[in-house]
Copies of this chain bind each other. A is one copy, B any other.
Amino acid sequence: MPLLVAGSVALDTIETPHDTRENVLGGSAVYFAYAASYFTPVRLVGVVGEDWPAEHTALLQSRNIDTAGLEVLAGTKTFRWRGRYLDNMNDRETIDVQLNAMGQFNPVLPDAFKRCRFLFLANGSTKLQLKVLDQCPGATLAVADTMDLWIRTERDELSALLQRIDGLVLNDSEAKMLTGENNLVRAGNRVREMGPKFVVIKKGEHGAMFFSRHETYVLPAYPTAEVIDPTGAGDSFAGGMMGYLAERGDFEPKTLKEAMAYGILVASFTVEDFSLERLKKIRREDLSVRMEEYRKMLTF
């Protein structure tokens, strides 16, 4: 079943303690779409400027990602983010953000996109997320990501969004910020009480937690010794999760847990190199192999 994603499309400059990469392919919708493409056809909604390299569009199209919703906005440049990771490779600081095209984006979905039943509102302004959601009245599963910036600056819009979506994905510090709860189990349940049927809290190197009315569980991250660049891990997680749900065409509790595991595994590959470099080298079979190891790890 096709999966719609709307979010940022970016050129990132990433500094880690060991290396730096300039203007590499990034953005929440890009990482999400590539991760989801292992499982299902993806329809991408985003905006770029005139400096956008055509090769990036070609790469996405080669993965069965429909870029009809990727607008090239005349007279603008592509959204740019520059970040620096600290020695622990978990904490990072944003050095520079240039919204560029993203600041003027007014998403208008192609008609075929509007009929998507599985929908993910990747990280981006809550106002933009609402505009996309408005155009997809037939969605059967609408899930969103959010971040600290929108929790602070678009709180009312976020409250409205939470009433209209089925699931929310956010990281641990954001869940604490949104709820004022320091205990993650309480925070997850509090977010759920704000509207969505389920909530996923991403814990970075520590895995992810799931909350629904009937279930609370946590799955660990796949342990990897090679963390080269954590950028996009959370978006890849969401892409793997939603991609698997769209492939299966349901979101039963059992499917959701398998989807969480696939999200964790795609993310474990993403961090093993900069940008999409590692994902470009793996196939669905590599995910299956790692899934076997992961299941074995959790069996005793």
> Does A223 contact B209, Cβ atoms closer than 8 Å?
yes
Contact residues in B for A87 (Cβ distance below 8 Å): 182
Any B CB within 8 A of the CB of A147: no
The minimal Cβ–Cβ distance linking A166 to chain B, given in whole angstroms, is 20
> Does A183 contact B227, Cβ atoms closer than 8 Å?
yes
A257 to B296, CA, bound (A): 11
Contact residues in B for A227 (Cβ distance below 8 Å): 183
Q: How often does this chain occur in the complex, in copies? A: 2
Any B CB within 8 A of the CB of A205: yes
A175 to B220, CA, bound (A): 19
A66 to B38, CA, bound (A): 58
Contact residues in B for A206 (Cβ distance below 8 Å): 203, 206-207, 220
The minimal Cβ–Cβ distance linking A262 to chain B, given in whole angstroms, is 10
Any B CB within 8 A of the CB of A186: yes
A184 to B87, CA, bound (A): 13
Contact residues in B for A299 (Cβ distance below 8 Å): 298-299
Indicate with 1 or 0, residue by residue over A265-300, a CB within 8 angstroms of chain B CB atoms.
000000000000000000000000000000101111
A219 to B223, CA, bound (A): 10
> Does B219 contact A205, Cβ atoms closer than 8 Å?
no
Question: Which 9 pairs across A and B sit closest by C-beta, in order of nearness?
Answer: A206-B206, A257-B300, A185-B225, A298-B298, A217-B297, A218-B220, A220-B220, A185-B223, A186-B225
